[in-house]
Amino acid sequence: MKLLKFHLRYHPPGIVLEYLQKGIVKNKDIDLLDLNSNSDTKAIANELYHKELLITEDVREQLEQCLETLKKRIEHEGPTGKRFYIYKTLHTHVLPLTNVCFDKTGQRCLSGSYDRTCKVWDVESGKELKTLSGHQNVVYAVGFNFPSCNRVLTGSFDKTAKIWNAETGECLATLWGHTGEVVAAQFNSKGDYVGTGSMDHLAKLYDSGTGAEIQTYAGHTAEVIALQFDPNEGQKLITGSFDGTISLWDTRVRDRVGVLRGHSGEISSVQYNWDSTLVGSASLDGSARLWDARQNTCLATVASHSDEVLDICFDWAGQRMATSSSDCSARVYDVRAEFKELAVMKGHREEVSKVCFSPAGGCLLTSSADRSARIWNTNTGNCIQVLSGHQGEIFSCAFSYAGDAIVTASKDNTCRIWR
């Protein structure tokens, strides 16, 4: 085995070893989830040198430089980091927007709308690249196939999902089979599967190449409104339902492999952490829960919000979890230390519908029915910046992968880019 080069992985922090083995180029990921501004990069390099056979004496200095670059990237985004300014307002949707997302490079973004279309935008110029037309009702779920981002997935109230060519706008496949609105849709990490969740109480698995249905996942007794593949292998799937439960599925078998019970109200959001060992859930019962994904047990329950919990997310390192609520606040918890509450974000005047961490984890982004989005310091809970200007409630928001841009989507029929 021969090491060819190091690759930096910014989010979550890590390095990728590209090496040659028997004439075949392979990659090995090394997670550095605890890397922060106080880390001793020489000590980490020394530890990796003794642990990894591929890392030899002659590349130690290069390894230290890579670790320093990673460390500076995290430091750069600290509480006093970048301020965001309105860069572009994207018009052309004729009805309110639903969900938005960036591609991996941050050069394109998607927007779904009640006008039955999904649009692909050029972030730099603000120009519309493609309009993906073909759905017969609201386009609710939108997403790219990471990391290549050459295909787009849409889920619609017309009871179908569609796969599109991101460059040409051509519809490559229509995913049939649901008898209710499709409100959740996602590619798995390898891009070979698509998962969908629907108001018909079912989730389905499709071959993303052919559009053929592979599995129908039955077991929920109410609408399936949240779905996520595990971030690494893409062979596990979680679904959240209005029946108050979270189901765990394996793409290789039809029957569910686990059920997480304990919430007394509808599930509003579910998410895996980075290594898929934990599941976070938010519920309209006013609580959020942390679950062990392997043991199917509840590790912690927090009920510090005074109203429905609407959204949940982990930071990239999987060490903290954030929640947003109808009580106009967001909260951050440490998932490693008895679910300790780290910060409370108060300032929105109406419900906070969406929450997401910046890629390096120093900031939290929230969107609200009060027509604003806000950026918060995740350590102190202080508001760093208010992103105002939308004329209607903000349904969705997202950071770009590099953390240098934000997109917000509103009931005012516009999408805004902040840089």
Strand order in the sheet with 373-377: 352-357, 363-368, 373-377, 383-387
* pTM of structure: 0.90
Residue 273: which CATH number? 2.130.10.10
Structural domain includes residue 406: no
Q: Are residues 328 and 205 in the same domain?
A: yes
Q: Which pLDDT does position 67 carry in this prediction?
A: 93
Expressed as residue numbers, the domain containing 68 is: 2-77
Q: Are residues 71 and 146 in the same domain?
A: no
- C-alpha 229/C-alpha 236 separation (Å) is 6
Structural domain includes residue 316: yes
- C-alpha 367/C-alpha 238 separation (Å) is 25
Q: Are residues 187 and 329 in the same domain?
A: yes
End of a domain among 305, 325, 351?
351
Q: Which pLDDT does position 81 carry in this prediction?
A: 61
Structural domain includes residue 243: yes
CB 277 within 8 A of CB 238: no
Q: Are residues 332 and 293 in the same domain?
A: yes
Q: Are residues 38 and 176 in the same domain?
A: no
Structural domain includes residue 412: no
Q: Are residues 114 and 63 in the same domain?
A: no
Structural domain includes residue 98: no
Classified as helix, coil or strand, 155 is strand
For the chain, 419 residues long, the average pLDDT of each consecutive 10-residue run is: 89 88 90 85 93 92 91 62 89 94 95 97 95 98 95 98 98 98 97 97 98 97 98 94 98 95 98 95 98 96 96 93 98 90 97 94 95 95 95 96 92 96
Classified as helix, coil or strand, 414 is coil
Structural domain includes residue 267: yes
Q: Which pLDDT does position 30 carry in this prediction?
A: 92
Which pair of tokens denotes residue 32?
């550095």
Number of domains in the chain: 2
Structural domain includes residue 199: yes
Q: Are residues 63 and 140 in the same domain?
A: no
Structural domain includes residue 404: no
Strand order in the sheet with 151-156: 139-144, 151-156, 161-165, 171-175
Any idea which residue has 């439960």 for tokens? 245
Q: Which pLDDT does position 79 carry in this prediction?
A: 46
